[in-house]
Amino acid sequence: MKVGFYQFRPLFGRPKHNCKKILTALENIDADLVVLPELALSGYYFKDKNESLKYAEDPDKSFHLDRMVELANKRNLHLIIGFAEKRINECYNSAALIGPHGIEHIYRKTHLFNEEKFCFDPGDTPFIVNDIKGVKIGIMICFDWAFPEVTRVLALQGAQVICQPANLVLSFCQQTMLARCIENKVFAITANRYGMDKRPHGTLKFTGKSQIVAPGGKLLHRAASQRDELFITEINPREAESKMLTQHNDVFADRRPELYSLLTNKN
Amino acid sequence: MKVGFYQFRPLFGRPKHNCKKILTALENIDADLVVLPELALSGYYFKDKNESLKYAEDPDKSFHLDRMVELANKRNLHLIIGFAEKRINECYNSAALIGPHGIEHIYRKTHLFNEEKFCFDPGDTPFIVNDIKGVKIGIMICFDWAFPEVTRVLALQGAQVICQPANLVLSFCQQTMLARCIENKVFAITANRYGMDKRPHGTLKFTGKSQIVAPGGKLLHRAASQRDELFITEINPREAESKMLTQHNDVFADRRPELYSLLTNKN
């Protein structure tokens, strides 16, 4: 399976430009699955929910997502793209799984980062696994990395490849995803953006370094910090089927859920 | 609070020697809490359960653990030491929390590593938190690192300092413990051994690099790979009380347990 990411610098509030940038970069691509950054069409640093609603798109009638479906159809691939999702009065920080015939799934970010809490509603979609050409895919977005529960819940459902659109500003995620791939023996693709969102209410700089990690925590590739990069590589998702960390340790079978009950207690 | 570890090289099957080595190293110590390696008295690489039972000690009548209590009393400190625990026909890979007046708690390793499965019974003690001079301490042993559930369950109960006796042979743990301290905002003390256990059934080499990590994943100190080291440092355990990772993110309050239900399903 040919998988990868496209790391670029979306411009704030310029979805047409950002959409065209993606379409051009992926014009002649040969891949099965490409992960794009979080909020790749709108840019990231909204002031409040009024503003995020202004730039959010209803996936049932989004000009830009329709272009992504066309691209997926033309190149016969799947895309995972972060976008601001409008649903009447709700606004979610979402990721769409897009196949050659349309949107196949939408995941709404569960764990909102910092000021996102003033711009988005918390996600209400369960963690589920999607099938792409027989390969099981799990989706998380950016700050979900800080919660080991996310990758675990996806991996326990059989996810072989974790796809993570991101707009990272902290430095912890990339290294932590190695731990996620050790403890769950999965692949993980982190598609981060770079550059800055300079807004009247503040400036944020994003960290780039998009990466692909193999089961066991092996870093297959990490992009530079502040540069466009389209990276595609061949992986064998079946490597994620074995959960053996040693000859006698299956990291899933060895779990002791009867001792973990606190994890699902309500706060 | 003055905390630390003693990294050394226990000799297989020579508890008297290993005990004396610890007593000598800690003879004049000024500390509140010192973590010692896993199976620090017996050595690690048992052939089978018959052999581990032969070297295991009943904590109610253990000459060597009694010496540790004496040391804790003399120096007015707490020790956490890994030992093979004998209970009639059961044998556990355990850690004792030892205070000036005796053994205060015993934790039995939950997730057994590789061939340990042939030498020990799986731990049956719940993950609980102990109080040392007003500071909340959680205990895990070595391979428990591979299960993010362990640190999480301890931290959710208020553990400020995670203490981990270890006999590590893989290279993943030290880096993964940084992730544990980011996602849970706790301190972690990993007391590893070094050197080799050369036995008729095989040889294992241990990786040293004992370490202390602060909340947020800051590495305060990491020992060399193959050298004795007694390391003590002052920490402020109250730093582990704030779970804020950003201005608006409390990594515990932000959890969404209603979406994590798979984590406590029986295998």
- The predicted structure's pLDDT at residue A176: 97
Q: What's the whole-number average pLDDT of chain B?
A: 97
**Which of A139, A259, A261, A265 to probe the B interface (max B CBs under 10 A)?**
A259
Q: Is B109 a catalytic residue?
A: yes
Residue B27 annotated in active site: no
The tokens for B162 are: 């995670």
pLDDT of residue B227: 98
The whole-number pLDDT of residue A77 equals: 98
* Residues in A touching B178 (Cβ below 8 Å): 175
pLDDT tens digits along A122-176 = 999 999 999 999 999 999 999 999 999 999 999 999 999 999 999 999 999 999 9
What is the amino acid identity at position A143?
A: F
Query: B264–A263: do the CB atoms touch at under 8 Å?
Result: yes
What is the structure's pLDDT at A267?
63
Over 90: is that where the pLDDT of B259 sits? yes
Q: Do B172 and A217 touch (CB under 8 A)?
A: yes
- Write down the ipTM of this complex: 0.96
CB contact under 8 A, A259 and B126: yes
Q: Which domain holds residue A70?
A: 2-264
Measured between CA atoms, how close is B266 to chain A, in angstroms? 6
B157 → chain A, closest CA residue = A262
CATH code of the domain covering residue A153: 3.60.110.10
**How confident is the model over A23-81, as pLDDT tens digits?**
999 999 999 999 999 999 999 999 999 999 999 999 999 999 999 999 999 999 999 99
Using alpha carbons only, what angle is made at residue B50 by residues B94 and B192, rounded to the nearest 5 degrees? 35
Residue A156: closest C-alpha in chain B: B262
High-pLDDT (> 90) share of chain B, %: 99
Residue B266 has pLDDT above 90, yes or no: no
Per-residue pLDDT averaged across A215-233, rounded? 98
What total of structural domains would you count in chain B?
1
Q: Which of A179, A263, A266 sits opposite B149 (nearest CB)?
A: A263
> Apex CA A263: angle with CA B238 and CA A169, to 5°?
60
Residues of A in contact with B115 (CB under 8 A): 248
Of A153, A182, A253, the CB nearest to B260: A153
CA A211, CA A5: separation in Å to the nearest integer?
8
pTM reported for the whole predicted model: 0.97
- How many Å lie between the alpha carbon of B178 and the closest alpha carbon of chain A? 8
Q: What integer pLDDT is reported at residue A202 of this predicted model?
A: 97
Note the pLDDT of residue B164. Answer: 98
Which residues, listed in sequence order, are joined to residue B218 by a DSSP beta bridge?
B214
Give the model's confidence band at A266: pLDDT under 50 very low, under 70 low, under 90 confident, else very high.
Answer: confident
Q: Which residue has the tokens 């099965």?
A: A32
Contact A266 B248 (CB under 8 A): no
pLDDT averaged over every residue in chain A: 97
How much of chain A exceeds pLDDT 90, in percent?
99
* Percentage of the residues of chain B whose pLDDT score is greater than 70: 100
Inter-chain contact A110–B259, Cβ cutoff 8 Å?
Answer: yes
A213 pLDDT more than 80: yes
pLDDT for res B267: 63
Question: What is the gyration radius of the CA atoms in chain B, in angstroms?
Answer: 18
Task: For residue A59, give every residue at least 6 positions away whose Cβ sits within 8 Å of its Cβ, in sequence order, or none.
Answer: A65, A83, A85, A94, A96, A103, A106
Closest CA to A104 of A77, A74, A122, A144: A77
Summarised one tens digit per residue, pLDDT across range B147-161 is 999 999 999 999 999
